[in-house]
Amino acid sequence: MALFQVKVLDWGQEGQETKHREAFEKEVAVWQKLDHPNVTRFVGASMGTSQLKLPGSKGSSGPGQRCCVVVVEYQHGGTLKTFLYNHRDKKLPYKKVVQIALDIARGLCYLHSKKIVHRDVKAENMLLNKKKSTVRIADFGVARVEAQDNENNMTGQTGTLGYMAPEVLEGRPYDHKCDVYSFGVLLWETFCCNMAYPNYSIADIAYHVVKLGIRPDIPRCCPRTLSEIMARCWDGKPDNRPEMAEVVALLEKIDTNKGKGMTPAIPDNTAQGCSCFGFAK
């Protein structure tokens, strides 16, 4: 029996429904044509929820007409975030790291070829199949289709703290290169099985990432080919970041037989996990 995941999205402030509906209709027209092994299958969408039996708070019939519903294919393997957390001590084999990175990179490359900017690339939005052999990009709740006449048509702090590119954190116009930045952070997390910026405020991250240009510390044991991809992807200048097609090509060239996982066995009296930079409080 096929299972599906349903996500309810709010249109936002009253009076904005018409504008948001028009944009949503255009985006759904693109989403429903997506067909890629590393992108969750889009099943359908509803422009309102009044006819749907959705759970609501007591005394409420549900979200109402100011919401829309997106239905996508369900993935049985859980999120990449949970998968990485479960390997936080043992870490992942290098071959698995590259395989996960390739799956995500190929999915993003495909989305960008369709002019779709995901805008919330993070471990929690990457889903694994039942055998945990394939990663698929999910959650198009904040995704946008780039305007054909003006790619830099998006502004605002959209996404998740820690994965946001400097231009997004500053509220400047941005394009699909914000996904490339997020991929760089996600690649680091996949190799380290750790979070890049745990427990820090948006002010801390904005200052250190935007003003000081600081990024997570890349472990010495990380193969140069992989560390160079990380560094290029999270470059502070969007124009310096590679296209995802180039990232795919670089990852495909990696000889996984020459690289090792994050760490060998660690003595019991040694702190485990790779290091990420800390902020002075």
* Catalytic sites, residue numbers: 120
E-strand ranges in the chain read 4-10, 42-46, 67-73, 116-117, 126-128, 135-137, 144-145
Angstrom distance (rounded) from CA 98 to CA 222: 12
Q: Which of 108, 107, 118 is nearest to 27 (CA)?
A: 118
Pairing type for strands 126-128 and 135-137 reads antiparallel
Tokens for 268, please give them.
């019991």
Q: What angle do CA 273, 276, 279 make, to 5 degrees?
A: 135
CA–CA dist 155, 194 (Å, integer): 29
Q: Cα dist. 88→34, 38, 95, 116, 232 in Å?
A: 33, 24, 17, 32, 25
Residues 6+ apart with CB under 8 A from 62: 49, 50, 52, 53, 54, 55, 56
